[in-house]
Every structure is written in C-alpha cells, then in structure tokens.
Structure 1
Amino acid sequence: MIIQDVINHLEDYAPLAYAEAFDNVGLLVGDKQNEVTGILVTLDTLEAVVDEAIEKNCNLIVSFHPIIFKGLKKLTGKNYVERTVLKAIKNDIAIYAIHTALDNHINGVNDIICAQLKLNNRKILIPQAQTIKKLTTYVPKNEAENLRNAIFKVGAGAIGNYNHCSFNVEGVGTFNGNENSNPTIGEKGNTHFENETQVSITFSKHLESKVIKALHKNHTYEEVAYEITTLENKNQNIGIGKIGELQTAMEETEFFTYLKQNMNVNVVRHSNLLNKSIKKVAVLGGSGSFAISAAKAMGADVFITADLKYHDFFQAENNIILADIGHYESEQYTKNGIVAHLTKKISNFAIILSNINTNPVQYF
C-alpha cells in the first residue's frame, strides 16, 4: 500500500472540494508514492507527534488540523511549525490534513459531537452553497439510456434519498462538420438533422471530473456538446455545524452536567441561563461564533462551540444559551472517527490512534 491509496480512502470519505477556501488541506509533507509502513492519526501534528510516529514506525500522519496553515518562506526551525515540518522531512514522514473537509461532511466532526450527546433528528446547521452542479448534454435518442446509466454509475443523479434522477427532452439537433471533421453520424460538409435527447443531470461538485470523463467515454459524437452550471440550491448533506434533539428535554443545570460528562470537559463558559428546558441543541466544533445567528434561526435552545469572545456572548440576547467548551475539547473525538473509518477501509493494516494530548490550553 502506498500513501496515495490511503489518501484515496480519506478523500472518498471527506472530499477536499468541500473544504473552506481559507483552509490548507491534503498532503502537506511527503511523497504520495511512498510505501506506507504505518498510519498515525492525531488532532494536531506537533514535534511530539512526529516523535511518536518515529517510535511506532508510522511514516504517514493523518492530522485533523494542518500544521502548515500560512505560507512558509523559510525552514530554519525558528518556531514549532518549522521544527515539526523539518523533523517530518528528515525522517521521511508524510503529513496529511483533513480539517474543514471533515467539518463539512454530514458524518464528520459535528456529527461525532452529536453522537457523543446522543442527539436525534440531526440536520446540517449551515448548508454549504454552490456544491450542486448540473450537466446538460445532447445525445442521439437511441443512445440516451446508455449515457445516463454511465453517468449515474459515477454518482451523479442523486438527490436526497433518490438516485438515477434526470430530466430528458426530445428534439432535433443540427450540425455541419468542416473538412477536418470526422462525424460519427452524417457526412462532413452536409448539415445533418438528428433526433436527440437533451439530458440534464445534477451532481455533487467533487464528482465533476468523473462525470466529464464518463460523458466523453460514452458519447459517440466526435465533438460532445455539453454545459455544466453551478446551482444555487442548498445541499442539505454538506455543510458546517449540526442541530439535533435530546431524547428527553432537560433543565439547564442538568444539561450542563450532561454536557460536561459526555464531552469530557471540566469547564463550560456560557451566556445567561434562561430558566427554560433544553431540547434542541446546535453544535459546531472549533471556532463557531459565525454560526450563532444560524443556531438562533434554527430555534436551538443551546449552541455548543468554542473560541467565543467576550462580545460574542451578547449575541445570545436571552434567546439562546451559548456554551463554549473549548476548541480542543469540541474536536477531541474527531481522531477516533478518522481511525474508525480507515480501519473499516483498510482492515488488514494497523491504524494507530495518537496518545499525545495536543491541547495547548491548560486550566488551573
């Protein structure tokens, strides 16, 4: 097995196409053609984690957070980022970061929090925009079914709980090939009229290259006419944050005790209690102040996230309880989810969960 094989499993799980534009995801250090000796999964890649990888004979670190976030102009070892990268390079250890690609996955970071809190009826809190595309093409009527099936086979045409979805309109297409053409139907130099079917199929944007490849492979025309457009429709299966419901409503203090136990935290910073029961819970692992308005709009009783600043708490406005459980604490179970996924996909290969606690925040 080579590193690229592991990357394929990771990107089938959380396609990088859905990572946020500001992020730095994918293979950050190393050669993807190297043979894998071991895989170490961590929340953060630090020097201590690289040391652990060396000790456990792992030459691939799969990290949630990227160690390289901003551009590196020098590698002199003057800070923890440069020292970590240098140590990885010296020891031929590759580093792959998944970060917001997993944040935006329906079964990713935020679903893992929901599972810890045993929330039901889970939905995406903020669906990601412009993740749905549409292919429109024109094919001879008797070839339409074969073309549709080939495009469905690569994953296009799935809408919610339905698949093989398309729209088809019959009409007449015309074309006239020049002297350099080699038409599969009709003759060059003569205008040809062909009974065609216009086929329209939607697909998730990470499938675009596969859809185009299937289109060209299964279309008989020398020049394939097609359009790909990006739709404004919201994809309810891709986006950041989650909202769900407790099995039974809890009083506020009871819920905070439940939250601390299930998320393994000792301290929760929160806005004013409202003397109301808690039933609907919104979550967003990591820095989530930008989602406060979304949590309120979705009718959440409490919004659990991290890195809230002083003025962020004013946004509660006695309509919701804001609960900051800490950045590391909100994402601490993410690496377990990555290990579980890779273990299912690579059953004959040891996937090692890092023992290093990378939380830089301590409490007295």
Structure 2
Amino acid sequence: MEVTRLIDYLEAYFPLSLQEGWDNSGLQISPQESSIKGVLLSLDVNSQTINEAIKLGCNLIVSHHPLLFSSTKKIFNDFYPYNVLYKAIQKGIGVYAFHTNLDIAEGGLNDYLCNLLELKDIEIIENKRPLRIGRLNRGLDFEVFVDYVKEKLSCDAIKYIKANDRLIKRVAVCSGSCMELVYEILDLDFDVFLSGDLKHHTAIFAKESGINVVDATHYHTEKFSKFILKDIIKRKFRELRVFVSESDYLPWDYR
C-alpha cells in the first residue's frame, strides 16, 4: 500500500489544519520507498524507535510528537534529534507526526482520556481547543481522585496540588504540556485540572488561586496516542502490518 493512501486516510480524522500555529505535525522524513512495508506507531521518535522499526521491518513511523519542531540551520550527528534523523534517512525510514491535531480533534487524545476516566457530558472549550471538561458519575474526595487517576493512567507516581477541599465532580482535561492554561481558565466551572508538565511558578499560581491540579506527566497523558491510531488504521487496513512501539518511555525515574 502507498504511504500517501494511509496518510490521506488518517488526515481525514486528524486534519493538519487543526494543529496549533507553533506545531510541526505532518511529514518529517519521507521514506525511501513509497510502498509501506510496515508501520510502527510511537509516542516519540528516538534511537530505540528507529532500531525497533528496523527489527520489525517497518519503513514508516507514525508518531505523536514531531521529531523536528523549529527551523534547522545546522545538522550534527552527535546529539538529539539529528542523530535519529541521520539514522532514519540512512535506513530509508519515513517519519510522520500527528501532534496537536490529534490532541484537538474529536475522537482524538483528549476525548480518549475523558473516556478512560469515564467522564460524562463532555464539553469542548471552543477558545481552548484541546481542553475538555467532563463530569464524574459521583463526587470524589481529592485524594481518592488522585488514586483514581493513577489507576486509570497506570502511573507509578504523580504530582498534585490540593488547593481547596472541594469534592471532585467536574474534571478539566488537557493532555501533554497544557499546564499554562491554568492562567486562562479561572472563569470555567471545574473542580480539578488534569494535565502534565507543571512548572514551579505555575504551581504557585494554581495554589494561590485555589485551583486543584493533578500532573500525571506529559508521558502518561499522551502514551495512548498510538493506540488511537492503531484502532483507526485497523478499521480499514486490516492486512497492513502495524505495530505499537515498545520503545517509548518516561525519561526520568522516581525514588
């Protein structure tokens, strides 16, 4: 099957026009051959991802995070991401990313998280496009909700801010690195904000503003992207060789 046929099919679900202005979703590296031998679905593209693609005989990686974000003036082979770029090109492996368009689209990553958390009455916040707000079946104490998130997202440890004693019923959800939205959502009706990549000063702002926050990490809120893509691909292309990467990882450890 031709690469363009698969990409056109996926873009119908997650149009590039939905991506944020700063994003670089789309084709990162064109494969050496236009015909697909196998597809590897990943969250990130690192050295292990390329090795995995080679081992599985895949010549196309479809990732969530783009390998390249900003304009590039120089390429050196001794640091990331250019070492990965070099190896992918040498091995004829193409890379395509569905990033914020997958976050924003209906049926995409944030809707998946809402379903995983069993939220009801999901609201899409128009001027905060990735953000969803949904309702739990019953109110939970904050500590119980934190444990609930750990279980549903399979997190070993998460950061949180308990800024009030409110019972958790309405949950604001935004995958990845959306914590800066804390400054923009004070007027919305929710009891806790779930995202990743909470920074020090943003945490102080949330605490002082009375906003409960759960930071489930960038990785754990976005690791499901590859399963979304696999499900959609297999609906139409059942015979296509599609693999879910086992090389994605949380890049730090806890003690």
Same fold, judged at TM 0.5 (above): yes
* 2:11 matches 1:121: no
- The equivalent position to 2:215 in structure 1, one of 321, 324, 336, is 324
**TM-score (structure 1 length as normaliser):** 0.67
Q: How do 1:1-364 residues align onto structure 2 when only pairs under 5 Å count?
A: 1-31=1-31, 34-127=34-127, 239-316=129-206, 317=208, 319-364=210-255
RMSD of the TM alignment (CA)? 1.7
Contact kept in structure 2, 1:27 and 1:97, CA below 8 Å? yes
Contact kept in structure 1, 2:31 and 2:95, CA below 8 Å? no
Alignment correspondent of 1:152: none
Mind listing any 5+ residue stretches in structure 2 that lack a counterpart? none
SS of 1:65 mapped into structure 2: coil
One-letter amino acid matched to 2:205: Q
One-letter amino acid matched to 1:260: K
Contact kept in structure 2, 1:103 and 1:240, CA below 8 Å? yes
SS of 2:87 mapped into structure 1: helix
Q: Structure 2: how far apart are the matches of 1:328 and 1:27?
A: 22
CA-CA distance at 1:330 after TM superposition: 1.2
Q: Structure 1: how far apart are the matches of 2:185 and 2:149?
A: 18
SS of 2:62 mapped into structure 1: strand
CA-CA distance at 1:254 after TM superposition: 1.1
The one-character-per-residue Cα deviations of 1:52-87 (angstroms, maximum 9, x if unpaired) are: 001101100000000111222233312121111111
Q: Identity, % of aligned pairs?
A: 31
Q: Between Structure 1 and Structure 2, how many residues are aligned? A: 254
SS of 1:282 mapped into structure 2: strand
Alignment correspondent of 1:134: none
Higher strand share: 1
SS of 1:61 mapped into structure 2: strand
CA-CA distance at 1:272 after TM superposition: 2.7
Contact kept in structure 1, 2:61 and 2:93, CA below 8 Å? yes
CA-CA distance at 1:350 after TM superposition: 2.5
Mind listing any 5+ residue stretches in structure 1 that lack a counterpart? 129-238
Q: Structure 2: how far apart are the matches of 1:361 and 1:270?
A: 18
Q: Structure 2: how far apart are the matches of 1:275 and 1:359?
A: 31
Quick one: structure 1 residues 16 and 32, their matched pair in 2 at CA, closer, same or farther if it must change by over 3 Å? farther
SS of 1:303 mapped into structure 2: strand
**TM-score (structure 2 length as normaliser):** 0.94
Q: Structure 1: how far apart are the matches of 2:161 and 2:217?
A: 14
Alignment correspondent of 1:140: none
One-letter amino acid matched to 2:16: L
